[in-house]
Structure 1
Amino acid sequence: MPLGSVLGVPAGTLIGDLAGWRTAFTVMGALAVGVLVMLLLLVPPLPPIQTTRLGVLNGMLRSASIRFALLLTFLVVLAHFGTYTYVTPFLEQATHVGDALITTFLLLYGAAGILGNFLGGAWVARYPRTVLGLAGGLIAAVTLLLPALGRWEAGAVVLLIVWGIAYGAVPVASQTCFAKAAPHAPEAASVLFTASFQATISMGALVGGVVLDRSSPSAVMVLGGCTAVLMILTLGALRRTPH
């Protein structure tokens, strides 16, 4: 999932540039059908360890560790998708680059995301919150610096590479935080992680779009950076709070 989330937008952008956005949607649909076929033919039945009812999820929300994982995930994913969703308008209007170069920049971001995924994965088992905090800090730095340094192509591409490394570590770190918070209920923890992550992606894109309609891509970046800073401050406050 982390690799898909960092490669999806660059790949879709590349296909759209080469053959049009309708082709990108067609390819996505064909891939989805292929996944469905493979699920039906290749994946064996996997009986659940326990039935994940709403009561189980409500009970998990009474755990402070689960609530912390939810809060940190909400803030960092909101910061990322509120900004990255609109990185193309920023590159067009602030950096003044063409479609071909934007695709190249996003592919570099995707490659950096793969690196970040593996770097985060190497440390996340022992230090999940630290990895998540470092990723959030880098996202904050990148999005706050983009309005100033992203006006030049070199500055934009360097910041996008750092951004890719940072976000590549976010899903694996967040998922590990949920798993460690509820080791007795891995399926329920996975449900909370996936649902909260997907809901926040939609919310981030919505908030970023509203801000973009009323201001500029640079304002979107600054707002996302401030949200990521809030995530870092929250993590610091949680660490100072007794268990």
Structure 2
Amino acid sequence: TLLGSFMGWRSVFWLMSLLAFVLIFWVLWKVPDYPGQSADKRISVKQVLFTPGIIPILTVVLAWMLAHNILYTYITPFLADAGLESKVGLILLVFGLMALVGIWITGIFIDRWLRMLVLMSLAGFALISLVLGLWSEHVVVVFGSVALWGLTFGGAATLLQTALAQATGEQGVDLVMPINTTVWNLAIALGGMAGGVLLNQWGAASFNWAILALTLVALIVAWCAKGYGFRPSRSH
């Protein structure tokens, strides 16, 4: 019943609140209170933003995550066009499992192949959007594309955060990570808005071409940011 469901959600809410309070006290008890930076070593947000390589990386974050969230947010109407609305759960399971594989691959190779992994992930996502735009009526194509999508997305956060940390160095990393989070959340919000507009105006089939355009922008920016943003490994 509705009342039973409401009571169930109240229990979950109180449990999560209790866990949050326990976590707060645990952090206060166990996490060391490290000293902050001295005044002469602090840098401003403006200095961080204008550090070479930061703007290109944040541009990639915005374009890549915007493209991802257009499709992820509206995956149900997109799959409905392909006659796969009843398979949404299974398809998201495939995406999640392959994302775990992507995380594992990123963890192994990121120290040596960060630039290559970023470029390959973006190129793979661009290929997915093109293939889905041309052959989304085929079930095998949809499942294969979603698997590759998960694989390319799984390590995205690690790759982009590592690139930002390398570009700013120790002094700016504490400032650039909140900026990255802000841009990431902005992309999520814009993805919902853009996807809604596309869906209402041109239907879910238009997602693929918007995603392709955004991903190509991110790929071009990442490719050009060789000097500071997405630098090749020294082993190359």
- Distance in 1, Cα, partners of 2:225 & 2:59: 11
What's the offset of the Cα at 1:172? 0.8
Q: Verify: 1:197 aligned to 2:184, yes or no.
A: yes
Q: Verify: 1:167 aligned to 2:168, yes or no.
A: no
Range with bigger deviation, 219-228 or 129-138: 129-138
What's the offset of the Cα at 1:175? 0.8
Q: Which of 133, 137, 151 is the matching residue for 2:123?
A: 137
* One-letter amino acid matched to 2:177: S
Three-state SS of the structure 2 residue aligned to 1:63 is coil
What's the offset of the Cα at 1:113? 0.5
Q: Verify: 1:78 aligned to 2:66, yes or no.
A: yes
Match of 1:62 in 2: 50
What's the offset of the Cα at 1:202? 1.2
After superposition, the Cα gap between the structure-2 partners of 1:28 and 1:166, relative to the gap in structure 1 and judged at 3 Å, is: farther
Range with bigger deviation, 131-140 or 118-127: 118-127
Match of 2:212 in 1: 225
CA RMSD of aligned residues (A): 3.1
Using structure 2 for the length normalisation, give the TM-score.
Answer: 0.81
Q: Which of 188, 193, 196 is the matching residue for 1:206?
A: 193
What's the offset of the Cα at 1:126? 3.0
- Given that residues 143 and 221 in structure 1 are in contact (C-alpha distance below 8 angstroms), is that contact kept between their aligned partners in structure 2? yes
Using structure 1 for the length normalisation, give the TM-score.
Answer: 0.79
What's the offset of the Cα at 1:73? 1.1
Unpaired segments ≥5 residues, structure 1: 1-19
| Count, aligned residues | 220
What's the offset of the Cα at 1:125? 2.5
Match of 1:239 in 2: 226
- Given that residues 82 and 220 in structure 1 are in contact (C-alpha distance below 8 angstroms), is that contact kept between their aligned partners in structure 2? yes
What's the offset of the Cα at 1:89? 0.8
Three-state SS of the structure 2 residue aligned to 1:126 is helix
Alignment deviations for residues 192-239 of structure 1 (CA, whole Å, 9 cap, x no partner): 221211111211221121111111111012111111012112222333
What's the offset of the Cα at 1:25? 7.8
After superposition, the Cα gap between the structure-2 partners of 1:126 and 1:214, relative to the gap in structure 1 and judged at 3 Å, is: same
Match of 1:125 in 2: 111
Instruction: Point out 4+ residue stretches in structure 1 off by more than 6 angstroms.
Output: 22-28
- Given that residues 76 and 85 in structure 2 are in contact (C-alpha distance below 8 angstroms), is that contact kept between their aligned partners in structure 1? no
Q: Which of 147, 161, 167 is the matching residue for 1:181?
A: 167
Bigger Cα Rg: 2
- Distance in 2, Cα, partners of 1:23 & 1:88: 29
- Given that residues 57 and 222 in structure 2 are in contact (C-alpha distance below 8 angstroms), is that contact kept between their aligned partners in structure 1? no
- Given that residues 83 and 143 in structure 1 are in contact (C-alpha distance below 8 angstroms), is that contact kept between their aligned partners in structure 2? no
